[in-house]
């Protein structure tokens, strides 16, 4: 059991709307600057330590990358660092972006 859960784009949207979560973008800074999920925090090796020391481990995290693969490893990392509720967003930002264009 990895200690984290993979959730769909729809489940991620529902969690973002209904509770206090932190949205973690692990894509490269240029991609983040170009576009990202509203309120997402871009984390890299440059700022992850500060995030780990300043964020309550009880705060739920939703982690995303480009396609939903790298975020699984990042979700495991956050569980290892003591976060209690961690989600990897299936399909990543690309699927999120496509759902934004198909919804009314």
Active site members: 65
Q: Which helix (H) or strand (E) segment is 89 a member of?
A: strand 86-89
CA dist., res. 24 & res. 42, Å (int)? 6
The conformation of residue 73, written as its DSSP 8-state character, comes to: H
């Amino acid at each position: 059991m990895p200690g984290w859960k993979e959730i769909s784009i729809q489940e991620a949207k529902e969690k973002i709307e209904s509770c206090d979560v932190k949205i973690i973008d692990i894509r490269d800074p240029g991609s983040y600057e170009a576009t990202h999920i509203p309120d997402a925090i871009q984390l890299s090796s440059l700022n992850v330590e500060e995030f780990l020391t300043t964020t309550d481990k009880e705060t739920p995290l939703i982690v995303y990358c480009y396609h939903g693969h790298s975020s699984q490893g990042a979700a495991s990392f956050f569980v290892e660092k003591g976060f209690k509720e961690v989600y990897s967003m299936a399909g990543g930002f690309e699927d999120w972006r496509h759902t934004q264009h198909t919804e009314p």
